[in-house]
């Protein structure tokens, strides 16, 4: 029992440290030195003196509370209100922010307020479209959680509305603002990887929570939850708290592994490799093997994407498994002169020696005299080539404990509100990444290759 309490105390300590984390450098592994890689964000310099962005939070569930906790680390913003359909979460939001603000079930009353600059939207995915449309129509700048869209049509409607209303829009895949991803982008852009035609990414988990079986609180009822507003334009359904709290499992409100995890991976890859487009084709395979609790989505999903216009042709393979934990998330970029691997906290670059060398394997089926002759000729043709591989020059960078990329992502958004310059993960970027998840699900459910038709903005089988 005592051990358990110690563990809880340690966990609480870690949480406190995480919430107060401000250090902005990497630990360079191996050499043991600290490489001073500056975060580009969290600098209030671009703000007019004393100005703070006044924002409201729409959706104060798991992620909405995370956003509020992260926003506390960003001195350039202040939360001035929150909306949620489940009343208990009004208090949860205030606790996460660490202070009181007006709360409501109806977010539109917050959008009517003239003293509000921006909204952080962390509602279920099927609600993103209408909340974003209402927010930009009310003249607010918008941070909307990933995946940007629940359907392809939603994404284009949101993109159009943001652009027509000339609003700043940031989608919420926070890795895009991470200093780890900035380091990976720097390595990628340096050309040290050579030609990259292959990327693998995965995110595996092995817990019930990792498979979205979130708690259903005792006070959940039609009295505490505005069920009709939750359904909005989803198919009618009798009150069901499981669908409300575990919405990720159901096609009516979420997109399963595609919307939950693929979108993070695709956004990270887009940001690091510097492309912003949709795959032309995708093929998925997978199944629901373990969590057979009435959900719609598979617990294992693999998708191969084809990007013919990126890098002269790029294959991307994504893989998420809710029945195994091999360390969580990871992305590997396979180049002709090196490999770069990102895990949750570390990026490693391993160069490959591709200098010319005598390849003895192919000579193994010939005579000794032929081999000797071949080696002589090779040495004459490559008089300066070393015969040995170059020494190991693996580089590895890891994030400091407690680094919070969500705080940087929010800081980036606040800065853009002030400068009116588009953020990297804007409405086009967010829409393209979300279409990647819709391609994956289309292929899985239709058991066919999903093809992206850019002219009609639709997916075809
Ligand atoms: N970036 C990340 O790492 C990350 C992590 C988790 C979730 N998310 C995203 O954040 C969003 C929310 O996920 P969650 O886990 O917090 O879900 P959640 O179910 O815990 O919370 C969603 C909340 O939104 C509220 N809501 C829905 N429609 C509303 C409306 N019209 N007005 C007011 N409130 C409304 C609900 O009442 C609910 O409390 C999703 O889009 C999810 O994909 C992102």
Whether residue 356 has pLDDT greater than 90: no
CB atoms within 10 A of CB 279: 25
Q: 91 CA distance to ligand 1 centroid (A)?
A: 15
Per-residue pLDDT averaged across 166-182, rounded? 97
| C-beta separation of 113 from 87 below 8 A | no
Per-residue pLDDT averaged across 2-22, rounded? 44
Atom of ligand 1 nearest to the CA of 229: 31
pLDDT band at 360 (very low <50, low <70, confident <90, very high): confident
Q: 375 CA distance to ligand 1 centroid (A)?
A: 65
| C-beta separation of 193 from 337 below 8 A | yes
- Atom 18 in ligand 1: which residue has the minimum CA distance? 61
CA 164 – CA 166 distance, rounded (Å): 5
Per-residue model confidence (pLDDT) at position 32: 27
Ligand 1, residues at Cβ distance < 6 Å: 58-59, 61-64, 83-86, 89, 107, 122-125, 127, 131, 145-146, 172, 174, 229-230, 247
Q: 213 CA distance to ligand 1 centroid (A)?
A: 15
Q: 231 CA distance to ligand 1 centroid (A)?
A: 14
**What pLDDT digit, counting tens, does each position of 26-75 carry?**
443 332 223 333 333 455 445 666 789 999 999 999 999 999 999 999 99
Q: Residues near 354 by Cβ (< 8 Å), separated by ≥ 6?
A: 194, 336, 337
CB atoms within 10 A of CB 195: 14
Q: Which of 70, 83, 121, 145 has most ligand 1 atoms within 8 Å of CB, for mutation?
A: 145
Q: 149 CA distance to ligand 1 centroid (A)?
A: 13
**What pLDDT digit, counting tens, does each position of 104-127 carry?**
999 999 999 999 999 999 999 999
Q: In whole angstroms, how far apart are CA 122 and each of 84, 93, 325?
A: 10, 12, 27
The burial class, CB within 10 Å (0-12 / 13-18 / 19+), for 223 is exposed
Atom of ligand 1 nearest to the CA of 260: 43
- Atom 5 in ligand 1: which residue has the minimum CA distance? 63
- Atom 9 in ligand 1: which residue has the minimum CA distance? 145
pLDDT band at 389 (very low <50, low <70, confident <90, very high): low
Q: 123 CA distance to ligand 1 centroid (A)?
A: 3
The mean-pLDDT minimum among 17-26, 69-78, 153-162, 360-369 falls in 17-26
Atom of ligand 1 nearest to the CA of 123: 24
Tell me the percentage of the chain whose pLDDT exceeds 70.
Answer: 88
pLDDT band at 404 (very low <50, low <70, confident <90, very high): very high
Whether residue 142 has pLDDT greater than 90: yes
Q: 330 CA distance to ligand 1 centroid (A)?
A: 24
CB atoms within 10 A of CB 283: 17
Per-residue pLDDT averaged across 207-220, rounded? 97
pLDDT band at 388 (very low <50, low <70, confident <90, very high): low
- Atom 27 in ligand 1: which residue has the minimum CA distance? 123
| C-beta separation of 302 from 257 below 8 A | no
Q: What is the pTM of this model?
A: 0.91
Q: 241 CA distance to ligand 1 centroid (A)?
A: 15
CA 96 – CA 68 distance, rounded (Å): 6
Q: 124 CA distance to ligand 1 centroid (A)?
A: 4
Which residue do the tokens 């922010």 mark?
A: 97
Whether residue 150 has pLDDT greater than 50: yes
pLDDT band at 358 (very low <50, low <70, confident <90, very high): confident
DSSP secondary structure, 318-356, as one string: EEEETT--SSSEEEEEEESSEEEEEESSEEEEEE---S-
- Atom 28 in ligand 1: which residue has the minimum CA distance? 123
**What pLDDT digit, counting tens, does each position of 245-300 carry?**
999 999 999 999 999 999 999 999 999 999 999 999 999 999 999 999 999 999 99
| C-beta separation of 411 from 42 below 8 A | yes
The burial class, CB within 10 Å (0-12 / 13-18 / 19+), for 157 is middle
| C-beta separation of 348 from 396 below 8 A | yes
Reduced to 3 states (helix: H, G, I; strand: E, B; else coil), residue 201 is: strand
The mean-pLDDT minimum among 12-21, 68-77, 277-286, 300-309 falls in 12-21
Average pLDDT for the chain: 90
The mean-pLDDT minimum among 83-92, 159-168, 273-282, 381-390 falls in 381-390
């Amino acid at each position: 029992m005592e051990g358990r309490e110690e563990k809880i105390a340690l966990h609480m300590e870690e949480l406190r440290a995480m919430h107060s984390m401000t250090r902005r450098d990497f630990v360079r592994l191996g050499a043991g030195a600290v490489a001073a890689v500056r975060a580009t964000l969290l600098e209030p310099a671009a703000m007019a003196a004393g100005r703070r962005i006044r924002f409201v939070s729409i959706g104060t569930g798991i992620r909405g509370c995370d956003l509020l906790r992260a926003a506390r680390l960003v001195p350039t913003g202040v939360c001035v209100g929150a909306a949620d359909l489940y009343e208990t979460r009004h208090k949860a939001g205030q606790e996460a922010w660490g202070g009181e603000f007006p709360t409501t079930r109806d977010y539109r009353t917050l959008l009517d307020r003239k003293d509000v600059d921006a909204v952080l939207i962390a509602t279920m995915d099927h609600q993103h479209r209408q909340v974003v449309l209402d927010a930009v129509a009310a003249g607010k700048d918008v941070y909307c959680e990933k995946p940007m869209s629940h359907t392809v049509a939603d994404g284009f409607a949101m993109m159009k509305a943001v652009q027509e209303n000339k609003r700043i829009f940031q989608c919420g895949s926070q890795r895009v603002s991470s200093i780890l991803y900035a380091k990976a982008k720097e390595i990628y852009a340096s050309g040290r990887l050579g030609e990259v035609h292959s990327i693998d990414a995965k995110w595996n988990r092995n817990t019930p929570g990792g498979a979205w079986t979130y708690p259903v609180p005792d006070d959940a009822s039609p009295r505490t939850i505005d069920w009709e507003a939750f359904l909005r334009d989803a198919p009618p359904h009798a009150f069901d708290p499981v669908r409300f709290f575990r919405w990720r499992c159901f096609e009516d409100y979420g997109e399963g592994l595609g919307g939950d995890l693929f979108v993070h991976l695709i956004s990270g890859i887009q940001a690091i490799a510097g492309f912003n487009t949709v795959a032309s084709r995708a093929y998925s395979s997978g199944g629901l093997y373990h969590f057979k609790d009435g959900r719609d989505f598979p617990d294992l999903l693999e998708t191969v994407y084809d990007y013919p216009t990126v890098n002269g042709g790029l294959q991307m393979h994504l893989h998420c498994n809710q029945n195994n934990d091999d360390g969580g998330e990871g992305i590997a970029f396979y180049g002709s002169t090196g490999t770069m691997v990102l895990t949750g906290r570390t990026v490693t670059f391993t160069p490959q020696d591709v200098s010319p060398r005598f390849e003895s394997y192919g000579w193994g089926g010939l005579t000794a005299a032929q081999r000797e002759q071949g080696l002589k000729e090779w040495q004459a043709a490559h008089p300066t080539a070393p015969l040995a591989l170059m020494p190991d020059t693996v580089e590895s960078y890891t994030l400091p404990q407690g680094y919070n990329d969500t705080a940087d992502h929010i800081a980036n958004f606040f800065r853009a509100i002030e400068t009116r310059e588009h953020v990297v993960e804007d409405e086009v970027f967010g829409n393209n990444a979300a279409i990647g998840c819709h391609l994956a699900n289309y292929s899985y459910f239709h058991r066919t290759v999903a093809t992206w038709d850019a002219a009609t903005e639709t997916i075809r089988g």
